Amino acid sequence: MKPRIVVTTHLPGDPIGLLREHPLGRDAEIIQLDEPRAPRHTDLLELVRGAHAILPHIPDRIDAEVMDAAGKDLRVIANYGAGYNNIDVEAARERGVVVTNTPDVLTEATADIAWLLILNAARGAFPANRDLREGNWTGWHPTQYIGRDLAGSTLLVVGMGRIGLAVARRALGWRMRILYCARSRKPEAELEPINATQVTLEQGLREADVVSLHCPLTEETRHLIDENRLDMMKPESILVNTARGPVIDEAALAVALQRGTIHAAGLDVFENEPQVHPDLLENDRAVLLPHIGSGSERTRRDMTAIAVDNLLQALAGGVPPNRVD
Ligand code: NAP
């Protein structure tokens, strides 16, 4: 078999070189799109035709139609990303296609960005920085640029998985009380060092000063933070999302920030990327980043190596390390 491998975008860390190092990749037909943007869905359907393996990234929607366009030889979809809500895992299972992701390597980088958002939302650093650069800073003044203290406050982690835990660990530096909600109880060995208490989402939202979202995007978590839940939060609280945009009802958040229902929000992800709700763009209480959670050099390189390894192991008929289905 001469496998056809489709890589849907340019990736750091030489994916083609890594594929070619493996006997299966050496003779493979490798197609890599080198566009700065994700391919349109119609182009994706063309691109994957006859593929044995697809290495997509987060903006690629790999649904049943794409799998059927690839055809009966498709063995593996090796996603570049920890989240895999862009892939219809059920459709893959029905077709006997293996789905993999790239967790772990991006945990620390993403936790750093969650904290960057928490700190900036608490202290209003982005608008202050803009004022300074635009020549609008008039000098130090006791009533200017007043933020909120984090030390000793309460953090709610929604989704105490890899990244949630890394964010909670960092909170110890601020002597924060840590609450978390998840569907299952997490191992004592992980919780004991951070002294985390499991609560219901509603209880956590009522008590927390900082709410940080780290659950995957599923049907259950879509709009998990809606108007009703935003109303439960404290007016001085901060909401941070480095998970997936649709976990928050973005329009409801824009209204909540305008009304002062919550103090500020820090967002790395959005409902309709790359679009951002216009009211959030206008609001200084919204700290906005263009989905850079995993964006450190080493992390992005390691993600490539892991995605390639998953792809090759599945193509070889083995069980890849990061199978999600
Ligand atoms: P993970 O280790 O699988 O952790 C996710 C946690 O969410 C699990 O512990 C899970 O626990 C919990 N969870 C699932 N459904 C839940 C629900 N309905 N309510 C509350 N908790 C729920 O994943 P991870 O590596 O930490 O990554 C988390 C997410 O971050 C990914 O899915 C991805 O979308 C996102 N991410 C974003 C970036 C970025 O660039 N911004 C980078 C990496 C990852 P239970 O099953 O017990 O509920």
Is there a catalytic annotation at residue 41? Answer: no
Which atom of ligand 1 sits closest to the CA of residue 107?
A: 25
Summary mean pLDDT of the chain: 97
Within the chain, strands assigned E span 4-7, 29-32, 53-55, 76-78, 98-100, 154-158, 177-181, 197-198, 210-213, 238-241, 264-267, 286-288
Asked whether 246 and 224 are in contact (CB, 8 A), the reply is: no
State the first-to-last Cα distance of the chain, in angstroms, to the nearest integer. 25
Beta bridge partners of 32: 7
CA distance 268 to 189: 30
Is there a catalytic annotation at residue 291? Answer: yes
Catalytic position from the list 169, 273, 301, 323 = 273
Beta bridge partners of 239: 211, 265
Per-residue pLDDT of 154-190, as tens digits, reads 999 999 999 999 999 999 999 999 999 999 998 999 9
DSSP summary character for residue 96: T
Q: Do domains 4-105+297-315 and 107-288 have the same CATH topology?
A: yes
Which atom of ligand 1 sits closest to the CA of residue 293?
A: 40
Q: Would you list the domain boundaries of the chain? A: 4-105+297-315, 107-288
Rounded to the nearest angstrom, the distance between the alpha carbon of 83 and the centre of ligand 1 is: 8
Confidence band of 325 (pLDDT split at 50, 70, 90)? confident
| Identity of the amino acid at 40 | R
For residue 51, what are the CA distances in angstroms to 7, 9, 177, 221? 10, 15, 50, 32
Q: Can you give the pLDDT at residue 302?
A: 98
Q: Any idea which fold 4-105+297-315 has?
A: Rossmann fold (3.40.50)
Is there a catalytic annotation at residue 244? Answer: yes
For residue 68, what are the CA distances in angstroms to 50, 52, 170, 240, 241? 10, 12, 44, 38, 34
Ligand 1 atom 37, closest CA: 243
The CATH number of domain 107-288 is 3.90.79.10: no
